[in-house]
Structure 1
Amino acid sequence: MLRVNRLSRDIIKSTFLRVHRVALSGGLVVLPNHYYTPIADVRELERTKDKWAKRSPMTGIDADIARQASRLQEIVKPFEPEYRGNSTYQEGAARGFGPGFGYVEAQALHGVLRWLKPKRVIEVGSGVSTHCATKALAMNASEGHPGKHTCIEPYPSDYLKSSPEIELVASKVEELDPATFDQLGDGDFLFIDTSHVVRPVGDVAHLYLEIIPRIKPGCVIHIHDIYFPYSFQRDLLDALFQGAETTVLQALLTNNDRLEILFCLSMLHYDAQDVLKEVFPEYVPIPDVNGLNVPNTTGHFPSSIYLRVRG
């Protein structure tokens, strides 16, 4: 009987695999609803929301809100007259450079780049953020602080291909030699906006295992779509795709003194909205329930985190 059961399981697995491969050729992923499948059953999530939809205590991570708020005010606020109205962001969005980077995040990016004045910027994942970074770097250059801007983008837009200010590396980041990032040093800037998905031979695994640990002290790292102090995305119950990058980052930061949080906009959104309103006067916080979206509401949820590598 045991041999029959094993044979039956093997037949079922091989059948599922054939169906899966056929579906892939049509652009679909068909997998069984099983605990080995890395996609959560949203029906089960809805039933058990009271058990998992809660903050993480961020154990082992130095994420003091008062210090984050102070750093945001010191680093970004002095440049508020420059990013007021967000004309660069609005121009980039109107030109179709990408919808994934938020209004407030763009203002924060401008402030950080103007404060840091990096000699080298490497951007992994591009879009309207690229346009905003280019403008901030141009202002730095006009003040005698030029910066080299490199974009790693496997699917470059015409804008990236034609921009004279940008060095384009048309490749997947996971296919690059990690030594590509050794040029970044003290005062330089690494911008990360990934697929957010953990999969074999993917961008997230490569960045967190092979790239970030080798970045030299003094470099500032930006990561987008981080949901601290929650470990899940705000649209988890309504989204087709489920990311896990926030969880991976939390694991990396736990008991890790080499990476310090300068500020995390999502944490400030939840715990220091008055400070965000002071630094970003146009900021209108969007409501949530235990870290999840509220239907039919509008506003801002900034989700960039800025880290600095310690020596």
Structure 2
Amino acid sequence: MTTQNQGDASPIKITDSIPIDAQKNAGSPTELALLREHIDSINKQHLGFIEAIGAILLEMGLGRKASPAEIDHFRWQIHSDNAHEYIASLFKNENFFLKVCESVTGNVMFVPPGHYYSPVVDVRSVKSGHRSQDITGVKFDRDKQLSNFRLLTSHLNRVEFPKTSSPNARYFYDNQFFSHADAVLLSAMIQEYRPDRIIEVGSGFSSAVILDTIDVTKRRTACTFIDPFPHRLIEILRPDDYDYVTIVEKHVQDVDLSVFEALQSNDILFLDTTHICKSGSDVNHEIFEILPRLNSGVIVHFHDIFDRFEYIDRWVFEENRSWNEIYLLRAFLMYNDAFEILFLADTLRACFPDELKMAHKAFSEDAGGGLWLRKK
């Protein structure tokens, strides 16, 4: 394949990587000539492919068809000593980058990701000490949270979840989506509060925990799973599950609000969706439209919420997920007398690590990312 070393204007061809001895042993002069001809053909095809892709990107960035002179200049630049710098300079140009993004996504963009007007974070601007030391305005009684957790301790070991996939259980904790600690807490909450109804928005491994727990408790809680793409849920369902399970293949924004108004005291609304606050998002709909309509005593869960309402450093600095649900949720809870915090699992881990580790082996590494609320 043709490649380009920085500082070397001559493309490196495939033949350059073939040892001299190998070329000598390739066969007759005719066979060697055919081999070289084939390799040259590959080189030309590869170069043509790079130039074609480059021309497409160039026209995307220009927002119009490139002139012959512009294409010739582009070809000259990608064969020059400064090819890498040239390509980088194109994408550092704000207008060029925006045009490429708009062409690829089909969406108009006001500013590029990372701009101070963009919700996508520029991690270079985030200070390492960005976490709040105090949760001012939020009723965040850590001792009361511990008391609420202690109500669950007798239930934590009742449902045993396997580490890997097993025919005897739908859930297994060696997965990247819903941790072992999250699972035992969800199961314990179902056992403690004995809901008649559970509505889950965003299905998957957490759904498996719900169904496995219902199998053990023998209490046929009516379950509604709302998810526009429920393939993972459908894969784990058993024939008898459909007697008490309803799957709504819709975005939560498209579900009639009466579904949530039917929840009663000790019923559970389990929310684990996109984690993004933006125009028309599911998170906005859940907080602005659904939560205010809930009846007294309904229990609400939000996933991927962590101590002091801040995301873990890896998600911020290494992966730049740019999730922001956690900040909207903190604002929602400030000076809010309508909802009480039962517990934030990651705060319990931070404040009472020894007690959690004694309660269940799942808490030896973390406590999951569950925030549990109750409508007063």
TM-score (norm 2): 0.66
Matched residue, 1:38: 119
Alpha-carbon distance in structure 2 between the residues aligned to 1:90 and 1:258? 41
Residues 269/234 of structure 1: CA separation in 2 closer, same or farther (3 Å cut)? farther
* Root mean square deviation of aligned Cα: 2.8
Alpha-carbon distance in structure 1 between the residues aligned to 2:296 and 2:139? 18
- Larger relative helix fraction: 2
Letter in 2 for 1:24: T
Out of 301, 308, 311, the residue aligned to residue 374 of structure 2 is 308
Letter in 2 for 1:279: A
Alpha-carbon distance in structure 2 between the residues aligned to 1:136 and 1:16? 50
1:65 aligns with 2:142: yes
Aligned pairs for 1:1-311 (under 5 A) are: 18-25=99-106, 31-45=112-126, 48-50=127-129, 52=130, 54-74=131-151, 76-83=152-159, 85-87=160-162, 91=166, 92=170, 99-140=176-217, 142=218, 145-157=219-231, 159-160=233-234, 162-163=237-238, 164=242, 165-235=244-314, 236-284=316-364, 299-310=365-376
Matched residue, 2:21: none
Letter in 1 for 2:199: I
Letter in 1 for 2:323: G
Residues 282/90 of structure 1: CA separation in 2 closer, same or farther (3 Å cut)? farther
Alpha-carbon distance in structure 1 between the residues aligned to 2:114 and 2:182? 36
Larger radius of gyration: 2
Residues 179/231 of structure 1: CA separation in 2 closer, same or farther (3 Å cut)? same
Letter in 2 for 1:112: M
Task: Give the match's secondary structure for 2:342.
Answer: strand
Return 5+ residue gaps in structure 2 as ranges: 1-92
- Superposed displacement of residue 112, structure 1: 0.4
Q: Is the 8 A contact 1:19 1:30 kept in 2?
A: no
Deviations 1:214-251 (A, max 9, x none): 11101111111001314233321011421111111111
Deviations 1:132-189 (A, max 9, x none): 101212333x2xx431001001111164275424210001112222222111111211
- Superposed displacement of residue 34, structure 1: 2.0
Residues 155/29 of structure 1: CA separation in 2 closer, same or farther (3 Å cut)? farther
- Superposed displacement of residue 77, structure 1: 0.7
Alpha-carbon distance in structure 1 between the residues aligned to 2:171 and 2:188? 19
Higher deviation after alignment, 150-159 or 192-201: 150-159
Letter in 2 for 1:133: I
- Superposed displacement of residue 13, structure 1: 8.8
Deviations 1:272-293 (A, max 9, x none): 1122113223422xxxxxxxxx
Return 5+ residue gaps in structure 1 as ranges: 1-11, 285-298
Task: Give the match's secondary structure for 1:49.
Answer: coil
Alpha-carbon distance in structure 2 between the residues aligned to 1:307 and 1:89? 31
Letter in 2 for 1:104: A
Q: Is the 8 A contact 2:148 2:342 kept in 1?
A: yes
Task: Give the match's secondary structure for 1:82.
Answer: coil
Residues 94/309 of structure 1: CA separation in 2 closer, same or farther (3 Å cut)? closer
Residues 262/36 of structure 1: CA separation in 2 closer, same or farther (3 Å cut)? same
Alpha-carbon distance in structure 2 between the residues aligned to 1:39 and 1:221? 28
Alpha-carbon distance in structure 2 between the residues aligned to 1:32 and 1:112? 40
- Superposed displacement of residue 36, structure 1: 0.7
Q: Which has the higher contact order (CA 8 A, sep 6+)?
A: 1
Alpha-carbon distance in structure 1 between the residues aligned to 2:306 and 2:210? 23
Matched residue, 1:289: none
Q: How many equivalent pairs are there?
A: 274
Higher deviation after alignment, 222-231 or 101-110: 222-231
Letter in 2 for 1:35: Y
Alpha-carbon distance in structure 2 between the residues aligned to 1:119 and 1:189? 9
- Superposed displacement of residue 18, structure 1: 4.0
% identical equivalent positions: 26
